[in-house]
Amino acid sequence: MKKWSLVLVFWLIYLPEAYCWGFFAHQQINYHAVFLLPPEMMVFYKKQLLFLSEHAVDPDKRRYMVAEEGPRHFIDIDRYGKFPYKSLPREWKDAVAVYSEDTLRQHGIVPWWIQTMLFRLTAAFKAKDAPRILKLSAEIGHYIADAHVPLHASSNHNGQLTGQHGIHGFWESRLPEMLAGKEWDYFIGKAEYIDNPLQFIWNRVLESAAAADTVLKVEYQLSRSFPSDQKYAFEERNGVLVRQYSTNYSLRYYEQLNQMPGRRMQQSIYAVASFWYTAWVNAGQPDLKTLINTQFTEADQKDFETLDQQWKDGKIKGKDCN
Ligand SMILES: [Zn+2]
């Protein structure tokens, strides 16, 4: 009995962080974005709430299958000098001309990848290809949400350079899981048309980059003033007992961040809905009522299953947790 409990404790302590941007938060963001849409879109999207939230995490799962996937989730923007990183051209082709494609991919490409996804989603609307609209909507939601996370815009993405290992999951999994249901509200207004999507995302990325310092500094200082034996605790996470940042420590951190994760989550929801809406408008506002009874093909279903299986079996390809 004793031996077993020791093994259990060992396993719990060394349980790897399960995800990067928490699966929970991604699913919530796509889910709540649907309610910001105009009625002409809502009629189609609302029937697919489950799909859109479940598949919000497909891009993270794909990181177990495809090496090129990793860089689409982040940008280590501090590799390009100092805020506001004027030397980094905002247009992809101009940035390639200055830094080369290899370098850009190495440091992450999230703002540009979102433009590619927007282009594809617009084309899917034009073609009235319902399965593609849904897949791309779920996935663009993921990348937009990632662009809102401060540590997705920093090379010190998991506090590895400052002895703060685990801070990535702390900010984007632990805090949302603790607080999203109780503390945060989602009455955010309506989706709006975005005139310049590239500029919009760059603004969000720059906000993330500016906030990354605060995210790291506040935790660094808190960990020095907080009783070290109370920083972590064995608490339940998704029905499993795990060693994680204690509730008290998490609440204090959240308070000292002035509720930043909640605000970023709201901004993500607004942005996701607005990108979906912008793609639909740019496609000429196709009538979505005719697409309500969408069925995925057998090939689609098989793809989803393969993705899921690879993720369950797999080892991440490329950089972890960014
Ligand atoms: Zn991601």
The tens digit of pLDDT for each residue in 238-259 reads 788 888 999 999 999 999 999 9
Comparing 16-30, 270-284, 301-315, which segment has the lowest mean pLDDT? 16-30
φ/ψ bin of 100: left (φ > 0), alpha (ψ from -120 to 50), beta (otherwise): left
> What is the average per-residue pLDDT within 146-154?
96
Beta bridge partners of residue 245, listed in sequence order: 232
Residue 297 Cα, ligand 1 centroid: separation in angstroms? 26
* Angle 68-196-262 from CA coordinates, rounded to 5°: 70
Residue 301 Cα, ligand 1 centroid: separation in angstroms? 22
DSSP assignments along 231-261, one per residue: SEEEEEETTEEEEEE-HHHHHHHHHHTTTHH
Comparing 55-69, 169-183, 199-213, 242-256, which segment has the lowest mean pLDDT? 169-183
Helical segments of 34-91, H only: 39-45, 49-54, 58-62
pLDDT(6) > 50: no
Tell me if 129 sits within 8 A of 98, measured CB to CB.
Answer: no
- Retrieve residue 3's tokens: 């031996």
Residue 139 Cα, ligand 1 centroid: separation in angstroms? 10
pLDDT at residue 1 in the model: 38
> What is the average per-residue pLDDT within 195-202?
98
Q: What confidence tier does 319 reach under pLDDT thresholds 50, 70, 90?
A: low
Give the whole-angstrom CA distance, residue 155 versus residue 283: 37
pLDDT at residue 185 in the model: 79
> What is the average per-residue pLDDT within 99-119?
98
- Retrieve residue 200's tokens: 């919009």
- Retrieve residue 84's tokens: 């506001």
Of residues 162, 154, 169, 171, the one with CA closest to residue 205: 154
pLDDT(184) > 90: no
> What is the average per-residue pLDDT within 225-229?
93
- Retrieve residue 208's tokens: 């993330």
Comparing 8-12, 51-55, 116-120, 179-183, which segment has the lowest mean pLDDT? 8-12
Residue 108 Cα, ligand 1 centroid: separation in angstroms? 11
Tell me if 229 sits within 8 A of 138, measured CB to CB.
Answer: no
Which residues, at least 6 apart from 306, have a Cβ–Cβ distance to it below 8 Å? 65
> What's this model's pTM, rounded to 2 decimal places?
0.90
pLDDT(9) > 50: no
Of residues 279, 304, 284, 240, the one with CA closest to residue 55: 304
- For the chain, what are the domain ranges? 2-313
- Retrieve residue 173's tokens: 């999994």
pLDDT at residue 18 in the model: 40
With b meaning 16 or more CB within 10 Å and e meaning fewer, what string describes 153-189?
Answer: bbbbbbbeeeebebbbbbbbbbbbbbbbeeebebebe
Residue 225 Cα, ligand 1 centroid: separation in angstroms? 32
pLDDT(159) > 90: yes
Mean pLDDT of the chain: 90
Tell me if 159 sits within 8 A of 178, measured CB to CB.
Answer: no
Residue 145 Cα, ligand 1 centroid: separation in angstroms? 8
With b meaning 16 or more CB within 10 Å and e meaning fewer, what string describes 93-118?
Answer: eebeeebeeeebeebbbbbbbbeebb
pLDDT(12) > 80: no
Residue 6 Cα, ligand 1 centroid: separation in angstroms? 34
> What is the average per-residue pLDDT within 86-95?
97
Which residues, at least 6 apart from 172, have a Cβ–Cβ distance to it below 8 Å? 20, 21, 22, 25, 149, 151, 261
pLDDT(318) > 60: no
> What is the average per-residue pLDDT within 25-46?
96
Residue 105 Cα, ligand 1 centroid: separation in angstroms? 15
Q: Which fold has domain 2-313?
A: P1 Nuclease (1.10.575)
Decide which of 17 and 141 is more confident. 141
Which H or E element spans position 225? helix 197-225
Residue 117 Cα, ligand 1 centroid: separation in angstroms? 14
Residue 56 Cα, ligand 1 centroid: separation in angstroms? 9
